[in-house]
C-alpha cells in the first residue's frame, strides 16, 4: 500500500487544518517541513510586530533620557514625578515642600542610590550622602535582611542649624537644608548634633593618593548647589575642610530633574515630590497606613518618609 504524504496547511493566521499521516499505516509525518513553515511564519510575524513597535516608539517615545529636561507623558511613576516636579517649579519657592518617600518593602539593598549619589556629586573618600543600613531579622532558618536607605532628613526643625556658630547651614523656604561652603569653618558641631548621622566631613582625601597620579575624575567639579566647585590637588579650597551632606540633588531639581537616587533605584523604591501638591504621588504615599518617619519622638519633623 502506497503511503500518502500529507503536508500541513498553514493559514494566514498561523497553523490551520493540519493533517498528520496515519501512524497505523507506518507513515512518518514530515516534521522538518512542518517546523520550517512554523519557523518562517513566526519570523515573519516577529518582523512585522517589531516594525509596528518601532513606528509606534518613534511617535510616542521621548527624545531624551528619563531625567532629561522635557516633559514626559503619563505612564510610570518616574514620569509622573517628573511632571509633578515641573509643575511645582512654577510656584514660588515658599509654596512648595520637597519630600522623599522610601518604600522599604521595595528596597533590595543594591546600593545603586549610594553609588549614583557618589557619581553625581563627585564625592571623595569618607564622604557619603546616602548610606544603606542593613540588619538581620528573624530566627534561623527564617532569617532575612532588612535594608534602610538614609539620606539627609531635611528636617523642618533641624538640630544641625542652631549649633552652627557661623550660620553656615540653614533651611530654605522649600524645606531643603543647605550648607554654605564659603561660610563653613569645619568645626563639625552640626555633625555631632544630627541624630541621623547624615553629615560627613571632607578631609581633602583622594582615592588615588598612593598611586603615581590622581586622575581627572577625582578633581572634577561637583555640580552641588550649581557652584561647580573642583577639588584641585595641593589646594585647601572648599569643599575641602567642610561638612557635606545630601541636598536632594538641588542642582538637578531646580533644572527639572529628579534626584539621582530616585532615577537609579532599580526597585523603584524611592519617590520625590512636592508635599504641598495634594494630587502628587508623594502626597498619596505619605497618607498610607504604612507611613512612618525616623525618630519622630525627637520632634525634628523629617522630610523623608518611609513605607514599612
pLDDT the model gives residue 76: 82
* pTM (two decimals): 0.75
pLDDT the model gives residue 58: 38
Give the mean pLDDT of the chain: 83
pLDDT the model gives residue 39: 56
Beta bridge partners of 131: 150
The count of C-alpha atoms lying within 13 angstroms of the C-alpha of 245, restricted to the half-sphere facing its C-beta, is: 26
The β-bridge relationship of strands 304-307 and 98-103 is parallel
CB 19 within 8 A of CB 11: no
Go through the chain and tell me how many residues it has: 308
Dihedral angle computed from the Cα positions of residues 56, 57, 59 and 64, in that order, rounded to the nearest 10 degrees: 170
Residue with cell 539621582: 260
CB 200 within 8 A of CB 244: yes
Cα distances from 183 to residues 124, 152, 155, 238, in angstroms, run 20, 20, 21, 10
Beta bridge partners of 270: 102
Give the separation between CA 154 and CA 118, rounded to whole angstroms: 19
Mean pLDDT by 10 residues, the chain (308 residues): 39 38 47 59 49 42 45 72 95 97 95 96 95 92 93 97 97 97 96 97 94 91 93 92 97 96 94 96 93 95 96
Residue with cell 597620579: 213
Give the separation between CA 52 and CA 163, rounded to whole angstroms: 62
Give the separation between CA 225 and CA 178, rounded to whole angstroms: 9
Q: Which three cell numbers mark 200? A: 560627613
Give the separation between CA 178 and CA 246, rounded to whole angstroms: 8
Cα distances from 169 to residues 103, 131, 147, 162, 299, in angstroms, run 29, 21, 29, 9, 19
pLDDT the model gives residue 36: 62
pLDDT the model gives residue 300: 97
DSSP string, the chain: ------PPPEETTEE-S-----GGGT----HHHHHHHHHHHHHHHHHHHHHHHHHHHHHHS-SS-TTSSS---S-SHHHHHHHHHHHHTTS-GGG--EEEEEETTT-----HHHHHHHHHHT--TT--S-EEEEEEEEETTEEEEEEEEE-----SS-TTTTT-TT--EEE-TTS-EEE-TTT-----HHHHH-TT--EEE-----TTTTSS---HHHHPPB-GGG--B---TT---TTTTSEEE--TTHHHHTTT---HHHHH-TT--EEEEETT-TTSHHHHHHTSTTEE-TTGGG----SEEEE-
Amino acid at each position: 500500500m502506497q503511503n500518502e504524504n500529507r503536508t500541513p496547511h498553514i493559514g494566514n493566521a498561523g497553523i490551520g487544518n493540519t493533517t498528520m499521516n496515519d501512524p497505523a499505516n507506518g507513515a512518518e509525518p514530515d516534521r522538518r517541513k512542518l517546523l520550517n513553515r512554523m519557523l518562517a511564519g513566526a519570523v515573519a510575524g516577529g518582523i512585522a510586530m517589531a516594525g509596528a513597535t518601532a513606528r509606534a516608539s518613534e511617535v510616542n517615545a521621548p527624545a531624551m533620557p528619563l531625567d532629561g529636561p522635557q516633559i514626559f507623558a503619563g505612564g510610570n511613576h518616574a514620569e509622573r514625578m517628573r511632571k509633578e516636579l515641573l509643575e511645582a517649579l512654577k510656584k514660588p519657592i515658599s509654596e512648595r515642600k520637597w519630600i522623599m518617600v522610601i518604600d522599604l518593602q521595595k528596597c533590595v539593598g543594591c546600593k545603586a542610590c549610594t553609588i549614583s549619589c557618589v557619581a553625581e556629586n563627585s564625592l571623595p573618600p569618607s564622604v557619603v550622602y546616602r548610606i544603606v543600613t542593613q540588619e538581620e531579622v528573624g530566627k534561623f532558618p527564617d532569617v532575612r535582611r532588612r535594608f534602610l536607605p538614609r539620606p539627609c532628613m531635611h528636617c523642618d526643625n533641624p538640630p544641625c542649624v542652631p549649633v552652627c556658630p557661623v550660620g553656615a547651614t540653614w533651611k530654605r523656604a522649600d524645606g531643603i537644608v543647605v550648607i554654605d561652603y564659603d561660610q563653613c569653618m569645619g568645626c563639625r558641631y552640626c555633625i555631632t548634633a544630627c541624630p541621623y548621622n547624615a553629615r560627613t566631613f571632607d578631609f581633602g582625601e583622594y582615592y588615588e593618593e598612593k598611586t603615581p597620579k590622581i586622575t581627572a575624575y577625582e578633581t572634577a567639579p561637583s555640580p552641588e548647589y550649581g557652584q561647580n566647585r573642583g577639588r584641585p590637588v595641593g589646594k585647601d579650597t572648599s569643599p575641602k575642610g567642610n561638612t557635606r551632606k545630601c541636598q536632594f540633588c538641588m542642582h538637578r531639581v531646580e533644572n527639572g530633574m529628579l534626584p539621582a537616587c530616585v532615577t537609579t533605584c532599580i526597585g523603584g523604591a524611592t519617590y520625590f515630590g512636592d508635599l504641598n501638591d495634594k494630587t502628587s504621588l508623594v502626597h498619596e504615599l505619605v497618607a498610607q497606613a504604612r507611613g512612618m518617619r525616623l525618630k519622630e519622638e525627637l520632634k525634628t519633623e523629617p522630610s523623608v518618609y518611609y513605607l514599612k
